[in-house]
Amino acid sequence: MGGSPSIPSPPPPPAPRDVAADNAAAYRTNVNTYIEKAPEMSALENKLRIQYMPQQRSLERQLSALDQQAATLAALQNERQFGSQRTTEALRRSYEQSPQAYALNRGLGDQMTRQFGRLYGASPYASVEPSVAFAPRQAPTDIYGTIGTNISNPELKA
C-alpha cells in the first residue's frame, strides 16, 4: 500500500513469531519479578494483617451487634405499636418478606405442635401457665451500651 505525499504509508505488520517471542519474554520477566518480590510482599501482608485484623474483627462484632439491635428494636416497636395484634402483624410481615419461608415455618410449627401433643398428651399452649405465658414484660434498657457508637471514628491501635 502506497501513501500519498501528505500521508505516509503505514509500517508493515509485525511478524507473528517475533510478537509471540516478545510476549513470552515479557511474561517471563513479570513472573520472575513476582517470584523475587514474594517474600517482601508476604512480609508486608503479614504486618498489615497483624496491624489491622483486631480492628476488623472489632468492627465486625460491632456491626453484628448493631444488626441484632436493629432487629430487636424493630420487634419491640412492633409489639408496642400493635399490642395484642403483634403476632398477627409479625406473621404478616414475615409473609411479605418471604412467602416460601413463611409457609415452611408454619408447616414446621404445625408439625412440632402435633408432635408435642402426641408426646405429652396436651397442647403446647396448655402446657405453660397463663400467668407465665401472658405476663407483661418490660423492655430491656440499652443492653448494648456503647457498642456501635464509635463506628465512624474507631480507635486506631497497632
φ and ψ at residue 5, rounded to 5 degrees: -55, -35
pTM of the model: 0.30
Task: State the Cα angle at 25 between 19 and 28, rounded to 5°.
Answer: 140
Q: What is the mean pLDDT of the chain?
A: 81
Structure confidence at residue 9 as a pLDDT band (50, 70, 90): confident
C-alpha cell at 47: 504486618
Contacts made by residues 117-120, CB under 8 angstroms, sequence distance 24+? none
- Rg (Cα) of the chain, in Å, rounded? 33
Residue 2: half-sphere exposure toward Cβ, Cα within 13 Å: 2
| CA–CA dist 103, 99 (Å, integer) | 6
Using CA atoms, how far residue 88 sits from 93, 113, 127, 142, 153, in Å, is 9, 18, 22, 27, 41
Q: DSSP state, 148?
A: T
Q: Quick: pLDDT tens for 91-120.
A: 788 888 888 888 888 888 888 888 888 888
Place of cell 517474600: 39
- Which amino acid does the sequence have at 17? R
Q: How many CA atoms lie within 13 A of 35 on its CB side?
A: 6
Highest mean pLDDT among 15-24, 71-80, 94-103, 135-144: 15-24
